[in-house]
Amino acid sequence: MKGERREVRGERREVRGEKKMLRRVLKYIRDKELLEKGDRVLVCVSGGADSVALLDVLQRGGYECVVAHCNFHLRGEESDRDERFVREVIGERLKAKGEKLWVKDFDTVGYAQEKGISIEMAARELRYRWFAEVAAETGCKAIAVAHHQNDQAETLLLNLKRGAGIRGLCGMRAKSGNPYEVRGERREAGIPIIRPLLCTTRDYIEHYLRDIRKIDWVDDSTNTDTSIKRNAIREQLKHYSKAEIEHMAETAERMQGYVDWLEGKESREAGRAKLFEELKDYGFAEIDKIYDALQKGEGGKEFRSATHVATIKKKKIEIQKIE
C-alpha cells in the first residue's frame, strides 16, 4: 500500500512538472505574441535536449509542427549519429502520422572555403537559408529555435567580454526578423525566428525530459571544448545559480526594451522598460503583471512592495507609501 501511495505521488509530481513547463512556455508565447493558437511552425531539431524539448512542448501545446534537421558533417560519426537519432526517434513518429521529416546534408567546410567565411558563419547561413525555404514551402508562420536562458546569459557575457554597446547587451530577442544572409547581400525571408524557450533554463529543460517526460536526447561532445569561447563561458555558468542566470536573461530582455524606447518603437519590451524606470525606487517585483494590468485597464487592482502600494487607475498608476 505504501509503495502504491509513493507511486501515485510520483505520478502527480510528474503531471505537475509537465503542466508547469507547458504553462510557462505557452504563456511566454502568448505574452511575446510569437504564435497564434494552432499555427503551423517549423521546429529546428538537432537531437539535443533543447530542441527535443521544444518540439515536445509545442506539439503538446497544440501547434502544428514541421520538423527539420541539418547535418553539417562537422563532427564525423557524431553528426551521423545525431541524424540517425532524429530519423529513428522523431522521424518514425512523424511517419506514423503521415508527416514528413525534413533532413538536409551540407558541405559546410566547402561552403566556408568558397565564401571565405568562418565555419560557424557558414553553418548559420546554410541552415537559416534552408529553414526559410522549408518554412515557406510548408506554410509555416514562424521558425522555432531552442535558445534558452543559459544561451541568453552566454550571449550577454560573450558580448561584454568583446566590448559591447547597448545593442550587444540586448542578447537574443524572443522574436526577430529572419535575415538569412548570402555573402554580399542581405535578404528578408519574411518568416520570423522565434525562441519560445527563452523563459526557462538548460537545467529545467533536461529535468523536464529526463524526469518528467522520460524522453531521450543526444549530446554534442564539442560543447565541452573550452577552447571555444562560448563553451568556456558555458562552463563558467555552471557555477551560477538558477536565479543568477534568470536575472542575466531578464537584464538582456530589459535592455531590448530600452533600445526600443530610445528608437521610439512601440513594443511590450519598451513599455516594460518605461514602467521599470517609473517603479524601480519603490521595490515592486511584479513589473510584468503591473504592465499587463495597465494594458487591460484593470482599474482598482493593487500591487504591493514592502514599502508602497500601486493602484491601477484606468491607464495610470497611483503610488502610495504604506504607513
Q: State residue 285's pLDDT score.
A: 84
Q: What is the mean pLDDT of the chain?
A: 90
| pLDDT tens readout for residues 150-194 | 999 999 999 888 887 888 888 899 999 876 644 444 554 589 999
Transcribe 29-65 into DSSP letters: HHHTT---TT-EEEEE--SSHHHHHHHHHHHHTT-EE
pLDDT at 3 over 80: no
Q: Are 309 and 284 in contact, with CB atoms under 8 Å apart?
A: no
Our measurement of the distance from residue 106's CA atom to the centroid of its chain's CA atoms, rounded to an integer in Å, reads 25
| pLDDT tens readout for residues 209-240 | 999 999 999 999 988 888 888 989 999 999 99
- How large a percentage of the chain has pLDDT more than 90? 71
- Mean pLDDT, to the nearest integer, of 289-315? 90
Q: State residue 166's pLDDT score.
A: 83
User: Dihedrals φ, ψ of 285, to 5°?
Assistant: -100, -20
Q: State residue 8's pLDDT score.
A: 47
Q: State residue 125's pLDDT score.
A: 93
| pLDDT tens readout for residues 242-301 | 999 999 999 898 899 999 999 998 888 899 899 999 998 999 988 888 998 998 888 889
pLDDT at 6 over 80: no
Q: How far apart are CA 125 and CA 123, in angstroms?
A: 6
**Of 69, 59, 47, whose CA–CA distance to 97 is shortest?**
59
| CATH among 3.40.50.620, 3.40.50.40, 3.50.50.60, 3.40.50.150 for 2-240 | 3.40.50.620
Q: State residue 182's pLDDT score.
A: 43
> Which residues lie across from 193 on neighbouring strands?
143, 176
| pLDDT tens readout for residues 10-63 | 555 556 767 899 999 999 999 899 999 999 999 999 999 999 999 999 999 999
Q: State residue 75's pLDDT score.
A: 94
The set of cell numbers assigned to 220 is 554534442
**Residue 211 DSSP one-character state:** I
The set of cell numbers assigned to 43 is 521546429
Q: Residue holding cell 510548408?
A: 138
User: Dihedrals φ, ψ of 185, to 5°?
Assistant: -145, 150
Q: How far apart are CA 88 and CA 197, in angstroms?
A: 25
Q: How far apart are CA 189 and CA 159, in angstroms?
A: 26
User: Dihedrals φ, ψ of 19, to 5°?
Assistant: -65, -35
Task: Write the Ramachandran bin of 33: left for phi over 0, alpha for psi from -120 to 50, otherwise beta.
Answer: left
Domains of the chain by residue range: 2-240, 244-321
